């Protein structure tokens, strides 16, 4: 098999990109979803200049009106069994159902901690390095192993300390938990998510999945295929995001983002 060699400068750039993602996420964590910049200065006595723990209260939090059993907000769709507290975020349901409407999305996290989406991306990278350090396996096969690790990571108590999970996580595990035989192996999850994308593509669009957070799990795939052509790199990222975010309207944005990062 022909292996394309990754240059030393590109390897260094990939490492720095991953560090940059983690640093930026950790620095911004306390003020995620602050819609009024003045709230940052008043809440933290100035602009953030380093790692900071989140305040207990969030000035524009909608955590407590977010759906615990799927994507979006509570009451937007048919009520379903909560995945928060039962399937994922095992000890966090009390914050989602609190009478305090100002609960911070990342309450309890420490200065320098990474949020769930970034931890997911780091988990992807670690799994890629474990099973395919030479980037010789077919991307589809690797996607299966990543999905297997994702399900285990999300459904195992204590793997992270974030309180918030974006709609795509909640939607994924709502659908997963409703299966009579929940897929767990790499091949089972690969087949299930591919079919899920096809099914969702024909149905009602979920705008809650077309969000900037969808670009975070794409980053490991862009880094994985950075030494390949622009088209191959973009395709690798798109094909994975389709399995976690089954929303066709998101594809052009992942495509543009992948090509942008590939070019630098």
Stretches where the chain sits below pLDDT 50 are 1
pTM equals: 0.94
Q: How many CB atoms lie within 10 A of CB 153?
A: 17
User: For residue 204, what are the domain limits?
Assistant: 8-263
The pLDDT assigned to 123 comes to 98
The pLDDT assigned to 5 comes to 72
Q: Is residue 3 part of a domain?
A: no
Distances (CA, A) of 111 to 86, 120, 189, 202: 27, 19, 35, 43
Q: Is residue 2 part of a domain?
A: no
The pLDDT assigned to 264 comes to 87
Total domains, the chain: 1
Q: Is residue 1 part of a domain?
A: no
Q: How many CB atoms lie within 10 A of CB 214?
A: 20
* Residues in contact with 16: Cβ distance below 8 Å, sequence separation at least 6, in sequence order: none
Provide the 3-class DSSP secondary structure of residue 252. Answer: helix
CA triple 191-160-169, angle to 5 deg: 35
* Spatial distance between the Cα atoms of 40 and 119, rounded to a whole number of angstroms: 24
8 A C-beta contact, residue 198 and residue 244: no
Q: Is residue 86 part of a domain?
A: yes
The pLDDT assigned to 1 comes to 45
8 A C-beta contact, residue 191 and residue 143: no
The pLDDT assigned to 75 comes to 63
* Residues in contact with 205: Cβ distance below 8 Å, sequence separation at least 6, in sequence order: 247, 249
């Amino acid at each position: 098999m022909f292996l394309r060699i990754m240059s030393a400068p590109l390897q260094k750039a990939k490492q720095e990109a991953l560090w940059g993602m983690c640093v930026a996420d950790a620095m911004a964590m306390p003020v995620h979803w602050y819609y009024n910049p003045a709230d940052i200065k008043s809440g933290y006595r100035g602009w953030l200049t380093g790692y900071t723990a989140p305040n207990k209260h969030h000035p524009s939090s909608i955590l407590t009106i977010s759906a615990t059993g799927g994507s979006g907000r509570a009451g937007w769709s048919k009520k379903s069994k909560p995945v928060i507290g039962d399937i994922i975020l095992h000890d966090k349901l009390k914050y989602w159902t609190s009478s305090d409407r100002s609960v911070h999305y990342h309450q309890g996290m420490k200065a320098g901690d990474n949020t769930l989406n970034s931890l997911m991306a780091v988990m992807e990278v670690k799994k890629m390095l474990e099973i395919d350090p030479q980037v010789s396996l077919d991307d589809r096969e690797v996607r299966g192993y990543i999905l297997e690790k994702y399900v285990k990571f999300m459904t195992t108590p204590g793997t992270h300390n974030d309180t918030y999970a974006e709609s795509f996580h909640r939607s994924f595990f709502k659908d997963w938990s409703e299966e009579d035989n929940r897929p767990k192996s790499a091949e089972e999850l690969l087949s299930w998510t591919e079919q899920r994308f096809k099914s969702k593509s024909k149905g009602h669009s979920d705008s809650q999945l077309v969000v900037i957070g969808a670009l975070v799990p794409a980053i490991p795939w862009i880094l994985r295929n950075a030494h390949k052509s622009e088209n191959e790199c973009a395709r690798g990222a798109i094909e994975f995001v389709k399995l976690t975010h089954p929303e066709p309207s998101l594809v052009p944005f992942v495509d543009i983002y992948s090509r942008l990062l590939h070019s630098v």
